[in-house]
Amino acid sequence: MYRLSTDVGGTFTDGVLLDEQTGRVRVTKVSSTPRNPAIGTIEVIEKFGVPLRDASFLSHGTTVVINALIQGKGARTALITTKGFRDILEIGRSNRTEMYDALYSKPRPIVPRYLRLEVGERINARGEVTEPLSMGDLESVLEVLVREKVESAAVCLLNSYVNPQHEIEIGEFLRTKLPQVTISLSHLITRKYYEYERTSTTAQNAYVMPVVRHYLDSLERELREREFQQVLQIMQSNGGVMTASVARDIPIAMVESGPAGGAIGAAQLAKMIGYENVISYDMGGTTAKTSIITGGLPETTDQYLVEERPILLPVVDMREIGAGGGSIAWIDEGGAMHVGPQSAGAVPGPACYMRGGEDPTVTDADLQLGILDPDYFLGGEMEIAPKLGHDVIKKVADHFDLSVDEAALGIVKIVNTNMSGLLQSMTVKRGYDPREFAMVAFGGAGPIHAAAIAKELRIPTVIIPPHSGVFSAWGMLMADLRHDLGQTYIVELDKADVAVINSMSGDLETRVRGIFAKENVGDSEIAISYELDLRYVGQEHTLAVDISAPIAETDKPTIAEAFDDLHLQIYGHNAPVEPKEIVSLKVIGIGKVTKPVLERIRVGDETPPAEAQLKKRNIYVGNGKYILFSIYYRDKLLAGNVISGPAVIEEITATTVVEAGQTCRVDEYGNLIISLDKEAK
């Protein structure tokens, strides 16, 4: 039996195959197929050449949701809401993210106004029905949905988070009358009270639901034809997995599906080898992403923005920029050079891929500098052309009257600076000292640039995991099933009725266990945790505090003290004498998945074996200077080997650079542990 995971990225689709008995890992990747990502997924599975009927577990991460939202290629969607609230998506919030940009405009609503439909009904904030649902209005809505050939409908009514009665009635009506239309009911997605964010989340869920269902149907059909007999697991944005059947109803939970796998993998790997606090750094073909892991767990947030539209669901807290191997170097009107966020993607890809790319990219630059070996790209499986990369970089070189090598180095320095800023935004700007963290670097391009970025930020240790180019897919094998549910309950902590809190948490736990039951997860395999979202009275934003359940009146001082401590840690100040307010409570369910055992590699001494050492290669380092870098095959290295920089370590899915003054040690699992020299620290 074996476990399998696949991760669809913007440039490549990655696959990891793990033998459950030996712990041995095989990896591969193919070019992504943007028109139908399922094709690339099947191609990467078939490259392993093993029967799917022997697979005990298949986890899948995909960019289908995020691509549909960014590219505006979702379904024809309508929004049904309470009379008087059709413009909530247009009004949004009064805050402006680009307050000094005179040309700034709010994001275009994902549902056009003529498809934002109203029904007469009203439920107050206590959940009491003050105006029954108007069936006449609902019949009028039905006429519009039919006339406009709507494919998906979002239903989000005022105060339905506390009483979903009218949403349930609308859902039953529409499913009877329009069985071909997908329906998203807000109370089944989030029970938080933020009206704009709740409506935005529901609308986006409806917008991508037909796309995701079609995609999953296609993928599952292909898997069944190949005798796959287990349940397809889908990576969620919160760092857990869910079955494909659950994903069909809440596809918006997949918005950061692939990157979350990398963060989970980094957390699990770091914990295994003794690092509690790490920075996860993932640079692929299109973007660079980072997250913070403290105490062995990735930090999460309850709100995420895509194209400035909020999604009110738990997400691994990540930041990303358009800085990947395919990021394009370009010159603005003022004559300054930039790198990204535009990307050559999978089609046409960097110029050196020989697929018609005409713009210089980071990969072209790394190849020109001598970091990448044109004869060993993807282990020699993919042919690339250094001449084509040279020619497109020459356009930049001629503009600045530089050598081609100097222009290539400029591209790399700019993208490194961009990524240093990205990591600082997650560390320094949040009060974390990067010198107190290790960095886990992965992705097809991450290990090339990690050492330089670590040197810039004085991060003392960089960990490059085995098969780092497909590490997000490996992380999916480490992810547990997870479901998060929340409920708004606004009351001062001192005045809160603990019986009400316990009743709400009990109801949420029952719902969580019901979802797990649909996934055939037994009660003994489920771990439940509880949180309260608290704030000082008069504040807007909240902080999550862990609690036990059920709680007692005597627990309130302890909860208040925990909030004060957390507020001091996050913001640098607190106000212990000020009253605290509960905003919502959350129940988090974890369905434990058996973790694969890492395979240990053969042990050697400090000197790498002769078969791991290749001929040295000149790499350009600036100002007309080239330095001979030692070149190593990673697959031939042994535990205990030590490599002094400057060096390049090559593997099938990635290339690792060890800079001068840095030392790389190979641990028992084959991780490359790069340490900065004392002066660099």
- CATH class held by domain 74-208: alpha beta
Q: What is the DSSP letter of 106?
A: P
At 240-251, the pLDDT tens digits run: 888 898 899 999
Token duo for residue 517: 């039951």
Amino acid at 272: M
Give the H or E element holding residue 461. Answer: strand 461-464
Lowest mean pLDDT of 393-402, 479-488, 613-622, name the range: 479-488
User: Quick one: how many helices (H) and strands (E) in the chain?
Assistant: 15, 35
Task: Report H helices in 273-403.
Answer: 362-369, 386-400
User: What is the CA 385 to chain-centroid distance, rounded?
Assistant: 32
Mean pLDDT of the chain: 90
What is the C-alpha separation between 419 and 435, in angstroms, rounded?
16
Collapse the DSSP code of 253 into the 3-class scheme (helix H, G, I; strand E, B; otherwise coil) and give the result: helix
Residue 680 pLDDT > 60: no
At 308-318, the pLDDT tens digits run: 899 998 888 88
Collapse the DSSP code of 332 into the 3-class scheme (helix H, G, I; strand E, B; otherwise coil) and give the result: coil
Residue 176 pLDDT > 90: yes
Percent of residues in the chain assigned helix, strand, coil, to nearest 5: 35, 30, 35
Predicted confidence band at 679 (pLDDT cuts at 50, 70, 90)? very low
Same fold, 74-208 and 481-591: no
Point out which residues pair with 22 in neighbouring strands: none
Residue of higher predicted confidence among 394 and 600: 394
Lowest mean pLDDT of 284-288, 481-485, 488-492, 538-542, name the range: 284-288
What's the average model confidence in pLDDT over 300-313?
87
Q: Phi first, then psi: what are they for 413, rounded to 5°?
A: -65, -40
What's the average model confidence in pLDDT over 496-518?
92
What is the C-alpha separation between 572 and 578, in angstroms, rounded?
16
Using alpha carbons, select from 663, 661, 666 the residue that is nearest to residue 633.
Answer: 666
Q: Phi first, then psi: what are they for 32, rounded to 5°?
A: -65, 155
Tokens 């797990």 identify what position?
516
What is the C-alpha separation between 239 and 314, in angstroms, rounded?
9
Residue 638 pLDDT > 60: yes
At 33-66, the pLDDT tens digits run: 877 888 889 999 999 988 899 888 899 998 888 8
Question: Domain boundaries in the chain?
Answer: 74-208, 481-591
Predicted confidence band at 342 (pLDDT cuts at 50, 70, 90)? confident
**What percent of the chain is predicted at pLDDT more than 70?**
98
Predicted confidence band at 681 (pLDDT cuts at 50, 70, 90)? very low
Q: What is the DSSP letter of 24?
A: -
Residue 285 pLDDT > 90: no
Token duo for residue 519: 């996934």
Confidence at residue 97, expressed as pLDDT on a 0 to 100 scale? 66
Residue 461 pLDDT > 60: yes
Predicted confidence band at 678 (pLDDT cuts at 50, 70, 90)? low
User: What is the CA 338 to chain-centroid distance, rounded?
Assistant: 25
Confidence at residue 521, expressed as pLDDT on a 0 to 100 scale? 84
Point out which residues pair with 15 in neighbouring strands: 6, 28
Q: Describe the crossing of helices 195-225 and 37-46 by its angle, rounded to 10 degrees.
A: 40
Tokens 């009028």 identify what position?
140
At 222-231, the pLDDT tens digits run: 999 999 988 8
Confidence at residue 98, expressed as pLDDT on a 0 to 100 scale? 67
What's the average model confidence in pLDDT over 380-389?
90
Q: Are strands 663-666 and 642-644 parallel, antiparallel or unpaired?
A: antiparallel
Q: Are strands 613-622 and 625-633 parallel, antiparallel or unpaired?
A: antiparallel
Q: Are strands 152-156 and 12-19 parallel, antiparallel or unpaired?
A: unpaired
Contact status, residue 242 vs residue 236, Cβ threshold 8 Å = yes
Q: What is the DSSP letter of 671?
A: -
- CATH class held by domain 481-591: alpha beta
Amino acid at 217: D
* Count of residues making up the chain: 681
At 423-451, the pLDDT tens digits run: 998 888 887 899 999 999 998 899 999 99
